Amino acid sequence: MSVAVNQGAKSRPRQVAIVTGAARGLGAAMALGLVEAGIDVAAFDLPESDDALQDLADRSRSLGGAYHPVHADVRDYASCDTAVDAVLARFGHLDILVNNAGIGMLDVLSGDRFQKFYEQDPGFWQRLIDVNLNGAFRMARIVTPHLVARGAGRIVNVTTSFSTMIETGMSPYGPAKAGLEAATVIWAKELSGTGVTVNVLVPGGPADTRLVPVARVKNREALIRPETMAPPLRWLVSPHAAGITGRRFVAKLWDDRLPHEQAAAAAGAPAGWA
């Protein structure tokens, strides 16, 4: 079910969203979900993902919003800054940032188990933290002043289930996501009164993406479909969620058949460990 986010606001410009890691998986599903709601999306990903980005651009043409592929590397501040400038030049403003870009633990999968933290290459640890945690900070650091200047905006950070954060073998992925969860709470407090909200959205379990190795879950039908992320995200960026901040929402618990207030109450909880 699509949410007409801009309904009743014909005089307002269309909302513009940046989704990082948008070429595949959760990012692709969220980007297309926003396009379907009539939102213009700047889909950020690495140049080597260009074929996937262009494929999604083709798929988006019949959905309602604009889908604009942008090459950006969240590990590099200058790359992020240049990409955001390009979005502003194209659309004139920004309303939404979805921090989704991330890498998983495939590089440290040994047989059917992940390496223990003391077995891992320090370079892998640094690379994962730099993408999954520092990358979200870089993007938020660049985008937030534009949102504050407009007096409104949404930042949505994709973290993970609490159990994954502390699961054996999930270091540094778990610590990076836990750090982003804590950052969400801090950013929400620091942006109180600005009109900019900061929330967490998680699938609610392993999702059918490349981050979940086939060696770990061979029955892919048991995994959460990436498209599950779209309905709660569309609500979070809509006027109905104005003032909702510092919370986490579990996509698999979102029931789109319910009035959105009820769906949000059932799927939501305070972010962090309150």
Query: Could you give the residue numbers annotated as active site?
Result: 173
DSSP string, 126-141: HHHHIIIIIHHHHHHH
From the CB of residue 138, how many other CB atoms can be counted at a distance below 10 Å? 24
Q: Which residues lie across from 71 on neighbouring strands? A: 45
CA distances from 121 to 115, 224, 225 (A): 10, 30, 32
CA distances from 274 to 181, 246, 268 (A): 12, 11, 13
Strands 247-250 and 268-270: antiparallel
Q: Distance between CA 143 and CA 194 in Å, rounded?
A: 14
E-only strand ranges, 31-152: 40-45, 67-71, 96-99, 109-110, 113-114
Q: Distance between CA 261 and CA 236 in Å, rounded?
A: 11
CB of 57 within 8 A of CB of 70? no
Q: Distance between CA 268 and CA 263 in Å, rounded?
A: 8
Structure tokens at 192: 């109180």
Q: Which residue has the tokens 């061979």?
A: 218
CB of 135 within 8 A of CB of 79? no
Q: Which residues lie across from 247 on neighbouring strands? A: 270
Q: Distance between CA 50 and CA 56 in Å, rounded?
A: 10
